């Protein structure tokens, strides 16, 4: 009997949510996605010292530990991991724009273009990369411009239909609705208990998926941020699912039957088409306390981890200069 992971791969593109290169090599996902949290963990692992050391050596040669040098070194580290991952997965690698640029469209555009240029200089074409951007109004506007330039985007930290509708209108290649973080908010609010079928994160992704399919929207739906395999199984059939290594291992060890839950032909209950200008988008987000809080919290968390990565890099560069 094939494992549930193998069964899932027949109906959904499986993406690995990790910066751990050896784990990606072992689990053989189609695509791979990283973020500052995952890069911070990977950068502290001895197995990747060569990738880290290359970036640190480059940063040391830039002559100091100024904020600009440290930030550029962190970018180089992300590119080192991304380029290495692109040699392993046959599909796409997502590289995240700094979360502290989430409310700056022009800075997001500049960062995204610099990433694509740097990847192309390393021989990695833009067709292999997704630029990962927070689903703020400013981030969505940046994605709209980048898509027209042939740079595909992954709109992340997405918690609501309003964000999904705006992303679709911007022509985003892919969205990453966060299943587990939606569940976390509702549990913290004292709701539940939930089953996989009533899990509010699962319900949200199913609604977005049906909305896209009903209205012929080509933007890819990639469920993310899972707390358990039940959430993953409840979204079997989704366009893509990005899953952490421990849950991938659990699915690989389970030989039970996996039922397809999402089908593009079934759009029952899908909302009518939404077209949101800036005022309507901001109001809709404001009316959804879960989405508002989780978007803000997610940006803060990524900024904290990015600052931790910068502090680690600055310390290592300073140590190398003193040696």
Q: How far is CA 300 from CA 90, 99, 101, 123, 287, in A?
A: 32, 8, 11, 33, 21
Q: Which 3 state secondary structure label does DSSP give 32?
A: strand
CB-based contact 204:182 (threshold 8 Å): yes
Element (H, E) at 220: strand 220-223
Element (H, E) at 94: strand 93-96
Cβ-Cβ contacts under 8 Å for 193 (sequence gap 6 or more): none
Smallest CA-to-CA distance from 96 within 25, 16, 39, 29 is with 39
Could you give the CA distance from residue 93 to residue 79 in angstroms, rounded to a whole number? 10
Could you give the CA distance from residue 290 to residue 312 in angstroms, rounded to a whole number? 33
Q: Establish whether 132 is a catalytic residue.
A: yes
CA atoms within 13 A on the CB side of 155: 34
Could you give the CA distance from residue 253 to residue 4 in angstroms, rounded to a whole number? 8
Q: How far apart are the first and last CA of the chain?
A: 57
Cβ-Cβ contacts under 8 Å for 224 (sequence gap 6 or more): 17, 33, 156, 176, 177, 178, 179, 241, 242
Bridge partners (DSSP) of residue 155 are 133, 175
Q: How many CB atoms lie within 10 A of CB 254?
A: 16
- Choosing from 111, 132, 213, 294, the catalytic residue is 132
Could you give the CA distance from residue 147 to residue 166 in angstroms, rounded to a whole number? 14
CB-based contact 264:270 (threshold 8 Å): no
Q: Which residues are catalytic?
A: 132
């Amino acid at each position: 009997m094939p494992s549930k992971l193998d069964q899932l791969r027949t109906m959904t593109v499986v993406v690995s949510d990790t910066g751990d290169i050896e784990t990606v090599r072992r689990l053989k996902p189609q695509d791979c996605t990283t973020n500052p949290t995952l890069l911070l963990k990977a950068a502290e692992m001895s197995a990747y010292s060569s990738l880290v050391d290359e970036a640190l050596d480059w940063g040391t040669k830039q002559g100091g530990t100024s904020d600009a040098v440290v930030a550029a070194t962190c970018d180089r580290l992300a590119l080192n991991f991304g380029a290495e991952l692109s040699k392993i997965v046959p599909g796409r690698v997502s590289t995240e724009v700094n979360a502290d640029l989430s409310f700056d469209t022009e800075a997001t555009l500049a960062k995204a273009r610099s990433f694509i240029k740097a990847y192309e200089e390393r021989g990695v074409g833009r067709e292999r990369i997704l630029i990962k951007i927070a689903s703020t109004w400013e981030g969505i506007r940046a994605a709209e411009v980048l898509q027209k330039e042939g740079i595909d985007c992954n709109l992340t930290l997405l918690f609501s239909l309003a964000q999904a509708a705006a992303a679709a209108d911007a022509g985003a290649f892919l969205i990453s609705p966060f299943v587990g973080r939606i569940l976390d908010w509702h549990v913290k609010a004292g709701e539940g208990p939930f089953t996989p079928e009533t899990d509010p994160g699962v319900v949200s992704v199913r609604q977005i998926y049906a909305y896209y399919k009903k209205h012929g929207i080509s933007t890819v739906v990639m469920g993310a941020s899972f707390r358990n395999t039940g959430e993953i199984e409840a979204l079997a059939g989704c366009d893509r699912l990005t899953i952490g290594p421990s849950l991938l291992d659990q699915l690989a060890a389970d030989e039970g039957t996996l039922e397809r839950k999402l089908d593009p032909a079934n759009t029952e209950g899908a909302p009518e088409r939404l077209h949101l200008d800036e005022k309507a988008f901001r109001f809709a987000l404001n009316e959804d306390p879960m989405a508002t809080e989780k978007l803000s919290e997610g940006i803060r968390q990524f900024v904290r981890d990015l600052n931790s990565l910068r502090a680690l890099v600055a310390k290592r560069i300073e140590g190398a200069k003193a040696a």
